[in-house]
Structure 1
Amino acid sequence: MSTTESPRPRTDKADTAGAADAAGRAETTADQAVKETLEDYTLRFAPRSYRRWTPMVVATTALGGIAYMADFSIGAGIGLAHGTSNALLAIALAAVVIFVTGFPLAYYGARYNIDLDLITRGSGFGYYGSVLTSIIFASFTFIFFALEGSIMAQGLEIGLGLPLWLGYAVSTLMVIPLVVYGMKALSKLQVWTTPIWLLLMVAPLVYLIANDPGTVDRFLAYPGTDGDGAVNTASVMLGAGVCLSLIAQIGEQIDYLRFMPPRTEANKRAWWTAVVMAGPGWVVLGALKQAIGVFLAVYILAEVGPVAAPEPIQQFRGAFEAMMPSWLVIPLAVVLVVISQIKINVTNAYSGSLAWTNSFTRVTGHYPGRMVFVLVNLAFALVLMEADMFSFLNGVLGFYSNCAIAWVVTVATDIGVNKYVLKLSPLQPEFRRGMLHAVNPVGVVAFVAASGLSIAMYFHLLGDTLQPYSPVAAAVIAFVLTPLMAVVTRGRYYLRRTDDGIAEPLLDADGNPSGATLDCHVCHQSYERPDLTACVTHEAVVCSLCLSTDKTGDHVLPAGV
């Protein structure tokens, strides 16, 4: 078949072209993966036939995933160390960076219905190059799973008397049944639990401010343990570095936003509102929670001391004690912590399993099933919890933020500058094997240089003076090197070929991914146009997952067209 000829939809459900043994092995692997990937489209473009939710339902589901309590701990830790003024400035600075970098990523995920790893592949990293960033994102999910699990274990210890080690195990195991069913189950969980969570979080804050306005004055005047309360640039940067560890949260938001319906004239206002609110807009609520964490930590500091003040269970226990009978305090505080932990950790487990599965499948050509990596991710998280990660929280997050910033800024810069300004990066994202080069030096070089140098700064290898500025270095180096590398390489390493061998247009009249379907000749399932390419050895088409599991390249189109 000519690579420009449109393949005919298959009707006999058999590979009449006489597939090679390698294709047969790919078929077996793909058949095993079909049921699971058709439930939540692991590793795939999310087709419009599955995306039946309204923009607001998708947004509510995505925002439900940021109900985590880690923000309270992060804000409290920064505030107690550096004082309220420095903490608030650090939180605000980080929020601006997260919003600006998250916007182009959220738009691409919602517009083209692909997750952040698929976006990263075509935005400077290449088909195998983005394995680096998948591992970074997977690490984000189990680090924050461990943090949230630790917070829940603290709540279970106070409320039920469970020892911490047992609480860690309970908080890990209880999310497994909820993660099995993907987006359908998660959307219901997030929508129904969000009103309860908002009420329990906001009510005590409003009560404390209304009944004791002096709490606000004490909060604003708190100097911190490391200084005199005056604004200090180094303190602000150190605090912002910890907050910026959350920059990778946009990946979890996109895991939901990829299920947005097509954007049309009729729904464009609701569509844009949902994308901004649930995409980069998550950081507005996140920053507010961090500021509340500082407020509550200062409020309970005299009662529980600096060690326990960053613990959300202690913060809300102290707040509830001021507004309700004592017999109700512990149960409500535990309910808030448990709901928050479940809402975020089902997302952490789900997104982490996608990231690990994606990397493993590309590197090995074997699809082991997403549930395998749900368990792998949970195992990593449990080890961190048992190692008492909560006690060295800020150190872990400060180190991790350098890698996360380098990745997100690189991809955001490629979209915003290389695609729209320099026009060296293809405007439409590409993720399919055979269409991309294995490695694109644009993103890989920028990411490795930015993360490597910023980590060296973080560990004082370039001097004590520069150490607080490692997050700034990660962002600036990535922002400068990404377009520079695109200019140096003249954009030659983005696309391995420009034609996927299918004449059917990739986009519809509104610029949305086409809903036209063809049958994959390997797994015999129907997929929408963006998930398919022509097969090099058969007069047929092959889906993206079957291409990923093709160990010999039997189905992969040649380079250069």
Structure 2
Amino acid sequence: MSAVELQQGRQPAKRSFNKFVNNPVMEDYALRYAPRSFRKWSEFAVANSALGGIAYMADFAIGGSIALSFGFTNSLWAILVVAAIIFLTGIPIAYYSAKYNIDMDLLTRGAGFGYYGSTLTSLVYASFTFIYFALEGSVMAQALYQYFHIPLAIGYLICSLVVIPLVMYGMTALSKLQLITQPIWLLLMIGPFIAIAVKDPAAFSAWTHFGGSSASGSAFNTIEFGLAMGVTLSLIAQIGEQVDYLRFMPDKTPVNRAKWWWAVLLAGPGWVILGALKQLGGSFLASYITPIVGAANADEPIRMYTHAIAAAVGNPFAALSIATFFVLLSQIKINVTNAYSGSLSWSNFFSRIFHAHPGRVVWLFLNVAIALALMEGGVFGFLNTVLGFYSNVAVAWIGAIVSDLVINKSILKISPSYIEYKRGHLYNFNPVGFGSMIIASGISIAAFFNAFGPFLQAYSALLSIVLAFVLTPIIALLTKGKYYIAREPEPLHIVARHTSAHHEHGAGHGHHAPVYRTAVCVSCGYEYEQEDILHCPFHDGPICSLCCSLESQCHDVCKLPAASDDPARSVHAARG
């Protein structure tokens, strides 16, 4: 109860949530710290779920597309160099997310962007999910067209709607889906390459001499190498989808330390190892089928695998049937992840802008609808251009976060050692990450449109990540870290208890839970673990992070100088 309401002798209005938000299995703790009472999965289960999403076929399409455009050598080196960049930048992001059990948006807030500053990155991340949903859906629709002769426009709709029921139930359903389908998918992915190696080993030698439409043939070309890097660097934002699963990792203890680290590294930055291999596979298959289907269609994964599987089974219809099953399975495995991560990102964005949260499931439909519009608009036909442009913004975001986590937190120690994501403790904008991203992406986009000549145009994405990485500690030093923490945490009335099977929002898993430190939110009345609670001067009590985000009447009174001296006076000031 707030100080004013105490004086007036009446109870504050309780916040209520609809059935989507009140169901943790559907809500999956969007916008929140993932509590221990919900994190019931093993290290292996979390890692397997995260890696299950790497089944996507866009890697094959991207590898084939850049090989067709820039030749074998340029595409090879672009894939390898970008894989190294993505792996290194993914390590700190995966570690901090798994350690603090928060998603990419909450991590971004506390890594130099501020509370409202990270709304921009929520849009960048949401864009990643629906762009790749559209690309993956296009690949799936191509398979439906090849096998069932379903028109692409209808295929796009089918491919969009089929994932919704699976994604509605979040990690609980997705972990089971990925576990069941993983062995089948691995066998179907690797098998055709083994068959070609046995029956037509000369194809691999021909691949190394494949020039596509490159002016330099299969030789190395500095400009074309840079352009190929720009396309593949767009995948750097994939780490966000990995940590959407890694936030459910169990706490790291002396007992599970080795397993915990292996799971985080393999399922976090480790995704790019398999991703790079698939891009190389796409490059090879594009060169393999170009003489058969022509360059215009050689980057379509359904055609790649139909002809590759034919080398193993001989029968063209059987090959098409197996390839269709493989593509459909792959696309369902990844597009559930794209849709899931998009729903989290949109939830974060709209909750801050409108102070309302109808539930993650509502934003799931929005994300799928945008992806469907892109598919109907023919986004697959502009693959290189779309991804090349997008990468300029995505790498600036990732570069700024990594620089803050590695340099500002660990080396300069200007940024707090922990990740603070709660609205009541953050400045709305932190120029360290937010400013670095704006400057870096602005300059790199100008370079992308040839403002600084052909060389920087080709390397605009690399320019973006370097600028963001360098500017982040410079701005932190100039501002002396002033804009990280708006106010320090205050003491709370914390209760240590055995959290029953009916934990937050009444969900039950029917198992005995250990002791957690909890507090009851003064706004919604639910009990939450300590990490998700802060003191609210406006309500004069503990409040959960989501209710803090959704509160529209407080005008950030907790960050006013008077708040720590006289809560009642601060509340009066906030209410005018």
Question: Which residue in the other structure is 1:10 paired with?
Answer: none
Q: Which residue of 2 aligns with 1:112?
A: 100
CA distance in 2, matches of 1:554, 1:129: 17
Say whether 1:242 aligns with 2:231: yes
Task: Tell me which residue corresponds to 1:486.
Answer: 476
**Counterpart of 2:523?**
522
Q: 5+ unaligned residues in a row in structure 1: which ranges?
A: 4-14, 507-513
Which of these residues, 275, 286, 290, is aligned with residue 286 of structure 1?
A: 275
Aligned to 1:460: 450
CA distance in 2, matches of 1:503, 1:28: 22
* 1:315–1:68 distance in 2 versus 1, CA, 3 Å: same
3-state DSSP class of the match of 2:312?
coil
Is 1:558 aligned to residue 559 of structure 2? yes
Distance 2:25 2:451 in 1: 45
**2:388 paired with 1:387:** no
**CA drift at 1:90:** 0.1
How big is each residue's C-alpha offset from its partner over 1:100-126, in whole Å with a ceiling of 9 and x where there is no partner? Answer: 111100001100000010010011100
How far did 1:556 drift? 5.7
CA contact (8 A) 1:109 1:254 kept: yes
The alignment partner of 1:518 has SS state of strand
1:32–1:39 Cα change, 3 Å: closer
Q: Say which structure, 1 or 2, has more relative contact order (CA 8 Å, 6+ apart).
A: 1
How far did 1:344 drift? 0.6
1:78 alignment counterpart: 66
Mapped contact 1:107–1:275 kept (Cα < 8 A): yes
Q: Against the structure 1 CA distance between its residues 505 and 471, is the aligned structure 2 distance closer, same or farther, given a 3 Å change threshold?
A: farther
Q: Which residue does the alignment assign to 2:140?
A: 152
Kept after mapping to 2: 8 A contact 1:31/1:523? no
Alpha-carbon contact 2:27-2:360 (below 8 Å) kept: no
Q: Which whole-Å CA distance do the structure 2 matches of 1:16 and 1:50 have between them?
A: 35
Which among 91, 111, 118 is matched to residue 103 of structure 1? Answer: 91
- 2:34 paired with 1:46: yes
Cα distance in structure 2, aligned partners of 1:62 and 1:19? 51
Alignment match, 1:534 = 535
Q: Quick one: distance in 2 between partners of 1:403 and 1:18?
A: 51
Name stretches of at least 5 consecutive residues in structure 2 with no aligned partner.
Answer: 497-514, 565-576
Tell me what 1:9 maps to: none
Deviation of 1:555 after TM superposition, in Å, equals 8.4
Change (3 A) 1:554 1:478: closer
| Distance of 2:378 and 2:270 partners within structure 1 | 32
Alignment partner, residue 317 of structure 1: 306
Work out the CA distance in 1 between the residues paired with 2:204 and 2:25. 50
Q: Are 2:439 and 1:438 equivalent residues in the alignment?
A: no
| Greater mean deviation of Cα atoms: 253-262 or 357-366 | 357-366
- Equivalences for 1:216-365 in 2 at 5 Å? 216-226=204-214, 227-324=216-313, 325-365=315-355
SS in 1 for 2:519: strand
| Equivalence for 1:511 | none
Identity of aligned residues (%): 49
| Equivalent-residue separation in structure 1 for 2:392 and 2:170 (angstroms) | 30
Q: Return the offset for 1:33.
A: 2.9
Q: CA deviation at 1:491?
A: 0.0
User: Counterpart of 2:173?
Assistant: 185
**CA distance in structure 1 between the aligned counterparts of 2:415 and 2:159, rounded to whole angstroms:** 43
Change in 2 beyond 3 A, CA 1:462/1:555: closer
Number of residue pairs aligned between Structure 1 and Structure 2: 541
Matched, 1:194 2:194: no
Q: Cα distance, 1:18 vs. partner?
A: 7.7
CA distance in 1, matches of 2:230, 2:556: 45
Aligned partner of residue 28 in structure 1, secondary structure:
coil
Q: How many Å separate the matches in 1 of 2:213 and 2:231?
A: 17
1:414 maps onto 2:415 in alignment? no
Contact 2:50 2:245 in 1 (8 A): yes
| Cα displacement string for residues 20-64 of structure 1 (whole angstroms, at most 9, x for unaligned residues) | 89x62x603588733358741011000011111111110000000
Moved over 6 A (4+): 15-21
Deviation by residue 1:86-105 (Cα, 9 ceiling, x = unmatched)? 11100011111111111100
- TM-aligned CA distance change 1:168 to 1:28, over 3 Å: same
**Residues 106 and 349 of structure 1: CA distance in aligned 2, closer, same or farther (over 3 Å):** same
Partner residue, 1:7: none
| 2:50 matched residue in structure 1 | 62
Partner Cα distance (2:70, 2:89) in 1: 26
Q: Give the TM-score of the pair, scaled to structure 2.
A: 0.90
Match for 2:289: what amino acid? I
Counterparts of 2:52 and 2:7, CA distance in 1:
48
- The 1:293–1:214 alpha-carbon spacing in structure 2 relative to 1, beyond 3 Å, is same
**1:493-551 deviations in Å (ceiling 9; x for gaps):** 00001223327599xxxxxxx94111112222111101001121445311011111110
Instruction: Note if contact 1:55-1:274 (Cα within 8 Å) is conserved in structure 2.
Output: yes
The verdict on how the C-alpha distance between 1:537 and 1:19 changes in structure 2, with shifts beyond 3 A counting, is farther
Q: Which moved more, 1:326-335 or 1:407-416?
A: 326-335
